[in-house]
Structure 1
Amino acid sequence: MSLPKEPRQLMINLMYLVLTAMLALNVSSEILHAFKTINNSVSKSNEAINGKNNETMLAFQANEDMDGQKERVKPFNDKAKEISKEADRVYQYLENWKERVVAEAGGYDVENGEKSIKREDDINASTRLLVENKGGDSIKAQLEALRKYMLDRVSDSSRTMMGQQLAIQIVDPKPNDNNPQGDWSTGNFYNMPTLAAVTLFAKMQNDIRNSEAIVIQRLFDEANAKQIKFDAITAIAVPKTSYALQGQKVEAEIMVAAYNKSVNPQISSSSGQIKIENGVGHWTGSAAGVGMQTVRGQITLDLGSRKITQPWDFQYMVGSTGASIQLDKMNVFYIGVPNPITVSAAGYSMEDVSISIPGAEVHADPARGKGAYNVSVGKLGDIVASIIAKKHEGGTAEVGKMKIRVKMIPDPEPQVGGKSGGIMPASTFRVQSGVAAVLKNFDFEASFKILSYSFSMTKKRDPDIKGPFVASNAYFHSSPQIQALVEQCKPGDIVYIDDIKAQGPDGRVRTLPTIAFKLN
């Protein structure tokens, strides 16, 4: 094709080419908004993890400062301090790179005291600084060095396992047409919008904080594993009977959380008798009164150089003679599910015994036998169940009662393919049908229905975030866009599922935490 000779036509053609190039490089505002949302979320997560790490370091120092513990704890605490210091340095190193990339893209706009990046969609700044000028190579080297630094400070027996758990994982991309050498910097930063680069740095900082948390917790555990004498106690009082009739024998055990059979503590009690054997106190008393009874006392342990004293208490319910209420599954009632109970009353025919629970619906359960009921509750708090029996001389009487706490069913865990995030093979993810809400470690039969969620995906070789797309139920096929992304997912893609809404049998709509998967 020959070029036009007329200057005016030549200028028009050049302007058309420039416009086409600008349109091809334009990053949509929706995608930038998604990056901004993810960046804000990851930044808040970084703050939370850093707070927990600081708490662990304070606990580490408190253990070292205890009498007789410095020699045992200090070597591990020193390593934890070194790791936190090095993690802070690399974290700040990435923070500086954020500012350099933003400055290269034109800096910030300030409005009403809030900063925003002027050119969020600029793809040249990250390419120039991190790919062409080799800044990405320095970042990669810093992360690899930090990972090795952390692993070198845990025990040899833990190093392989910790290497698999650390969030800092440096993996070179596979070579392709755009990155024939499989260069790490090119794979991560080439033609990356400024806001996306800032988000990626935040994710790397998140990996640093998570890795820091794992390693210092491991050092904390290793320090405690070498402990010969316990350095703190928590008093525990365990009643053998939670419900008793007047005059019946009531027993409980009072002990320290970590105890030594050769050291007997001193234990006082507000009632009953205590016998101490092999470091454990055995409480024995007689049930008196009607209703909830509380027994309190103190436990003192002589450690030689100091004495530790802790309070203890436990509760048990006393009913009227001959009547009792048994909660068949849990010691509380849950809203939204039938709560099975069994009522008994010695000296009365079960046909003459009933139960009254104001604020609850009570239904007899003949399939389980006489005295069996299912209770449905709808309000949080405490309720009182009363056993009512017909008297031989006529009329009725309350022969027993029990205060019961009412709680909400706990939140379920969002899962895809039985996992709540992490690494999943792309082939496995492609065959999943949707998101499930799994209620773990709950004795009742209760299911949650997924109402909606937001689905986003970052493709390995495409800096643009696909989504978010909203599903109207648990299944991916409820949204054609989501189903298409699932079917097309490949290793290296990252999936984000957030704003998950689920409804349980109690009718309450819960917002479940975000889950993310890195496909391999």
Structure 2
Amino acid sequence: MSLPKEPRQKMINIMYLVLTAILALNISAEILNAFKTVDRSLMTASGIAEQKNQEIFKSLEDKVNDPKTREKALIWQAKAQQVKTLSDDIYKYIDDLKTELKKESQFKIVDGKETYKEDDQESTTRLFVEEAPHGKGRGKELFDRLTKYKAALLAIDPDMAKEIGATLPLDLTPMKSNNQATNNSGWAYGYFHMAPAVAGITILSKFQNDVKNSEAQAVEYCHKQVGAVKIIYDEFQAFAGTNSQYLMPGEELVITAGVGAFSKAAKPTISVDGVNVALKPDGTAEYKATVGNSGAASKRVHISFYKPDGTIATKDVDVKYTVGVPSGLVVSTDKTRVFYQNLENELRVTGGSGDEKVTVTVEGAGATLTKKGAGIYIVNCPNLGSTTVTASDGKGTQKITIPVKPVPLPLAKVGGKAGGPFLANAFRVQKGVAADLQDFIFEGVKYDVVAYTLYCTGKGFEDNPGIAEVTGAYFNADAQAIIRKCQPGTTVVIDEIKVRGPGGSSRTLDQNISFILQ
């Protein structure tokens, strides 16, 4: 058995270059894992597109309920619903093909988890390429279904077809192959012949992603014929204040903050001194901390939210308060109520008997203590967990437990953006990925981008998605070559982002960046 002479039409170029170097007997785990990585990125991108579609449909419903736009909105809502019905049908059909392929590849459930023979090449060829009686010819059937889907979508409205027809990511141009079996579709042969089962699953995810992006373009066009997406604010509360402006050491400071007009669509985020605070159901955030040093103090509250026009607004509020002078021994963290791992955390200890009589010890989390000046200490904790600070001034002893937390993860960005729409010509001149540690109380703390995967699909990548593994922050030669092909209608996903922060350890962000180029 040999591989086809021209495997360039298969889904992922680098994977198939590797396949040409082996004899289809054993496919390495690294290659199979690479396919699974691409598949996860595709499904993530499809989920983002689906979320966007749901927001547009909600806005259309609001416009139907508005007497000023009802008549026009009803027309375009019906057309958008046609798009959704067509897309949902073909999306489920492809999902069913995935299930059928897994069953062909010895599907079973082990310990509650689905498994199948991921490297099985025969099953993919048999299911999609070979015709009856030896195979099932699903590839030709898939091609026909996708062709009908695209035609039906563009037939919904002639003006819509003129505007988005050329940029739809679903390119079904038949492929040519020199090693094609009789009566088999060249299109199906190019994508599925001798592809391992996990690659077949990934190829099907690629078509699902094309469908979702096609749906997104169509429903967005329908919505634009009525007006912009409207965010309705249905909860109202304006505040950024404390429970008290005068406190004694050890007392609790409570900061309540929120946006003036709240809606779930506003997606507000609130942080206090760089620490994100969870929102309550009414959109408010409540921050609690135990105050320490005597004197005037303040907390920086940062609020960001989406305005009705879809742009992001931010506001910083300095909440001021005063801590009274105690009569005895006081131990307090200077900047935060926690110690951060591998940072120089400042600790202050004051006593009524004078600094020379104060003794301080710190235990736990591998902590080290260095005296910086009168009543000022630096604590460095290489480990996570908690520490116990014990201070004595000859008259009394105070013991407090302070948790040790990791430095917050940064937000990965390209050109200052962490996702969403991006002008194609602006994206093509970007240099790489940056790690932005936002609103963190410690100054000068930085993360370096160590590695990531760049993945491009949609317009410009109809035959094969572009994929590049990048080491470091800057786009390498492979990534730059892919980016030069990007154009309006391209979907870009940057995933598996690894960063290096304080202490030198690498961490993988629970985040990917997804752009739809315009």
TM-score w.r.t. length of structure 2: 0.53
Corresponding residue for residue 144 of structure 2:
129
CA spacing shift, 1:244–1:24, aligned 2, 3 Å = closer
Specify the SS of the correspondent of 2:502: coil
Residues 1:93 and 2:100 aligned together:
no
- 1:46-83 per-residue CA deviation (whole Å, 9 max, x = no partner) reads 679999999xxxxxxxxxxxxxxxxxxxxxxxx9xx99
Corresponding residue for residue 508 of structure 2:
511
Specify the SS of the correspondent of 1:497: strand
After TM superposition, list the pairs within 5 Å mapping 1:178-197 onto structure 2: 184=168, 187=171, 191=175, 193=191, 196=203
Separation of aligned partners in 2, 1:43 and 1:456: 12
Separation of aligned partners in 2, 1:461 and 1:245: 62
Root-mean-square deviation over aligned CA pairs: 5.8
2:328 to 308, 322, 327: 322
Corresponding residue for residue 195 of structure 2:
none
- 1:381-406 per-residue CA deviation (whole Å, 9 max, x = no partner) reads 33232222246xxxxx52x3333222
Separation of aligned partners in 2, 1:98 and 1:472: 34
CA spacing shift, 1:408–1:170, aligned 2, 3 Å = farther
- 1:434-461 per-residue CA deviation (whole Å, 9 max, x = no partner) reads 2222112211132112222223344605
Separation of aligned partners in 2, 1:95 and 1:207: 12
2:341 to 322, 335, 358: 335
Corresponding residue for residue 375 of structure 1:
379
Separation of aligned partners in 1, 2:429 and 2:452: 19
Q: Check conservation: 1:101, 1:126, Cα contact below 8 A.
A: no
1:410 to 405, 408, 411: 408
Corresponding residue for residue 387 of structure 1:
391
CA spacing shift, 1:207–1:464, aligned 2, 3 Å = closer
Corresponding residue for residue 172 of structure 1:
166
**Aligned-pair CA distance for 1:514:** 2.5
Q: Check conservation: 1:108, 1:117, Cα contact below 8 A.
A: no
Corresponding residue for residue 487 of structure 2:
491
Specify the SS of the correspondent of 1:501: strand
**Aligned-pair CA distance for 1:127:** 8.9
Q: Check conservation: 1:244, 1:318, Cα contact below 8 A.
A: yes
Residues 1:446 and 2:445 aligned together:
yes
Specify the SS of the correspondent of 1:93: helix
Q: Check conservation: 1:126, 1:189, Cα contact below 8 A.
A: no
Corresponding residue for residue 180 of structure 2:
none
1:222 to 219, 232, 235: 232
Q: Check conservation: 2:42, 2:205, Cα contact below 8 A.
A: no
Corresponding residue for residue 473 of structure 2:
474
Specify the SS of the correspondent of 1:365: strand
> For structure 2, which runs of at least 5 residues remain unmatched after alignment?
20-31, 55-73, 109-114, 117-122, 130-137, 176-186, 193-199, 261-322
Separation of aligned partners in 2, 1:327 and 1:442: 16
Give the residue type in structure 2 aligned to 1:344: T
Specify the SS of the correspondent of 2:232: helix
CA spacing shift, 1:188–1:375, aligned 2, 3 Å = farther
**Aligned-pair CA distance for 1:329:** 1.9
CA spacing shift, 1:238–1:37, aligned 2, 3 Å = same
Give the residue type in structure 2 aligned to 1:409: V
Give the residue type in structure 2 aligned to 1:138: A
**Aligned-pair CA distance for 1:464:** 1.5
Give the residue type in structure 2 aligned to 1:474: A
Corresponding residue for residue 422 of structure 1:
420
Corresponding residue for residue 363 of structure 1:
370
Corresponding residue for residue 27 of structure 1:
10
Specify the SS of the correspondent of 1:460: coil
**Aligned-pair CA distance for 1:497:** 2.4
**Aligned-pair CA distance for 1:419:** 1.7
**Aligned-pair CA distance for 1:485:** 3.3
- 1:94-116 per-residue CA deviation (whole Å, 9 max, x = no partner) reads 2245279889x999734234676
- 1:305-338 per-residue CA deviation (whole Å, 9 max, x = no partner) reads xxxxxxxxxxxx9999412233222222111211
Separation of aligned partners in 2, 1:239 and 1:339: 27
Q: Check conservation: 1:38, 1:199, Cα contact below 8 A.
A: no
After TM superposition, list the pairs within 5 Å mapping 1:22-421 onto structure 2: 23=6, 26-27=9-10, 30=15, 37-43=37-43, 89-90=85-86, 92-98=88-94, 109-113=104-108, 117-118=124-125, 125=140, 129=144, 134-140=148-154, 170=164, 172-173=166-167, 184=168, 187=171, 191=175, 193=191, 196=203, 198-202=205-209, 204-205=211-212, 222=232, 224=234, 240=244, 244=248, 321-345=327-351, 347-359=352-364, 360-366=367-373, 370-390=374-394, 397-398=396-397, 400-421=398-419
Specify the SS of the correspondent of 1:500: strand
Q: Check conservation: 2:448, 2:500, Cα contact below 8 A.
A: yes
- 1:173-211 per-residue CA deviation (whole Å, 9 max, x = no partner) reads 3xxxxxxxxxx4874665464654652324544887999
> For structure 1, which runs of at least 5 residues remain unmatched after alignment?
1-18, 55-78, 147-168, 174-183, 259-316, 392-396
CA spacing shift, 1:243–1:375, aligned 2, 3 Å = farther
Q: Check conservation: 1:107, 1:118, Cα contact below 8 A.
A: no
Q: Check conservation: 1:331, 1:404, Cα contact below 8 A.
A: yes
Separation of aligned partners in 2, 1:353 and 1:118: 78
Whichever of the two has the greater Rg, that structure is 1
Separation of aligned partners in 2, 1:352 and 1:325: 14
Separation of aligned partners in 2, 1:101 and 1:47: 19
**Aligned-pair CA distance for 1:171:** 6.1
CA spacing shift, 1:119–1:210, aligned 2, 3 Å = farther
CA spacing shift, 1:209–1:330, aligned 2, 3 Å = farther
Q: Check conservation: 1:245, 1:321, Cα contact below 8 A.
A: no
CA spacing shift, 1:417–1:49, aligned 2, 3 Å = closer
Query: How many equivalent pairs are there?
Result: 371
Separation of aligned partners in 1, 2:356 and 2:333: 20
Q: Which has the higher contact order (CA 8 A, sep 6+)?
A: 2
**Aligned-pair CA distance for 1:341:** 2.8
